[in-house]
Amino acid sequence: MSQAVKTVSEDSQYIIASEPYYQEAGDEISLFQAAYDSRIPMMLKGPTGCGKTRFIEHMAWRLARPLITISCHEDMTASDLIGRYLLDANGTYWQDGPLTTAARIGAICYLDEVVEARQDTTVAIHSLTDYRRTLSLEKKGELLNAHEDFHLVISYNPGYQTLMKDLKTSTKQRFAALEFSYPDAETEATIVCHETGLDRDTADRLIQIAKHARNLVGHGLNEGISTRLLVYTAQLIQKGIPAVTACQMALVRPLSDDADMRDTLEATVQGCF
């Protein structure tokens, strides 16, 4: 059988054409810019729905680099990242994986929720995170030197760490890190209003509900209401759904199945509306 190589070229599917809205909470933009300029791999740490993915989309747009996002999961193998030989009517051919594609074209490669991947899979990124900046395609017999603009970014939620799902120390120490949390009330209300067109008074009421729920983390809740859920709630309200019903749909029911906790959250909703 003939052997060929099929790669994905840098094209519009990886380019972010318009600016993703991002409200800076501190100095994370300038810090990430410095890390990118030095090609230091980055780790984004923070709770679900606090803006990590939106931040990296904004930075890819700001840096004018293509962005390849990989949602990690426990069944992901090294071949899923790097590539494999496939078969078609013309014979066998090599298909680059998303990590390899990013290294070839100089994209930002974003491994979302990296702790969900198997540890033997994440080891595959090690050679891209130090002075070598290389990727070994063992099955293909190629040592790929990463494009000078290539940048590796990973993210995870420290609140979901377990002994079975955590990054090896040898992996963590290959990255600089930025910590994300939920925005302050003023910033979060501004985000909700900008994303949905919701009026400020209603947005402030939603933020009050979120603040109350976040104070219950560790006291019946594993995690608080995310900014993402606040945006979902505001979108429902903008579609004509009554505010209390929208909060039940997007804030209360997704957060807990415990009847007492749901009653507590619903009482908060009723008090705010």
Q: Which band of pLDDT confidence, cut at 50, 70 and 90, is reported for residue 136?
A: very high
User: Residue 240 is part of which domain span?
Assistant: 185-272
% residues pLDDT > 90 (the chain): 73
pLDDT digits (tens, 9 = 90+) for 73-121: 888 888 999 999 999 888 899 999 999 999 999 999 999 999 888 877 8
Judge if 111 and 17 occupy the same domain: yes
Judge if 134 and 157 occupy the same domain: yes
Dist. CA 16–CA 156, nearest whole Å:
23
Q: Residue 34's domain is classified under what CATH number?
A: 3.40.50.300
Looking only at the bridges linking them, the beta strands covering 142-145 and 134-137 are antiparallel
Q: Which residue has the tokens 């290539």?
A: 150
110 touches 69 (CB < 8 A): yes
Judge if 49 and 139 occupy the same domain: yes
* Of 48, 66, 101, 145, residue with least CA distance to 56: 66
- The sign of the torsion formed by the CA atoms of 122, 119, 158, 160 equals positive
Judge if 170 and 265 occupy the same domain: no
The domain boundary, picked from 148, 179, 210, lies at 179
Judge if 36 and 56 occupy the same domain: yes
Classify residue 235 by burial, with Cβ atoms within 10 Å: 0-12, 13-18, 19+.
Answer: middle
Q: Looking at residue 7, what is its pLDDT?
A: 46
In this prediction, residues 133-158 reach a mean pLDDT of 93
The domain boundary, picked from 163, 179, 195, lies at 179
Q: What dihedral angle (degrees, nearest 10) is formed by the CA atoms of 75, 117, 38, 99?
A: 0
Looking only at the bridges linking them, the beta strands covering 91-96 and 83-88 are antiparallel
- Is-above-0.75 flag for pTM? yes
3-state secondary structure of 95: strand
153 touches 111 (CB < 8 A): yes
Judge if 157 and 22 occupy the same domain: yes
Q: Which band of pLDDT confidence, cut at 50, 70 and 90, is reported for residue 18?
A: very high
Q: Which residue has the tokens 């066998």?
A: 92
Q: Which tokens go with 272? A: 């705010």
First to last CA, the chain: 69
Dist. CA 258–CA 221, nearest whole Å:
9
Judge if 224 and 144 occupy the same domain: no
The domain boundary, picked from 161, 179, 197, lies at 179
Q: Looking at residue 103, what is its pLDDT?
A: 95
**CA distances (Å), 169 to each of 119, 126, 164, in order?**
11, 12, 13
Q: Which tokens go with 33? A: 């810019």
Return phi, psi of residue 110, to 5°.
-115, 110
% residues pLDDT > 70 (the chain): 93
Q: Is the pLDDT of residue 29 over 90?
A: yes
Count of structural domains, the chain: 2
Dist. CA 16–CA 224, nearest whole Å:
30
Q: Which band of pLDDT confidence, cut at 50, 70 and 90, is reported for residue 239?
A: very high
Name residues whose C-beta falls within 8 Å of residue 186's C-beta, 6 or more positions apart in sequence. none
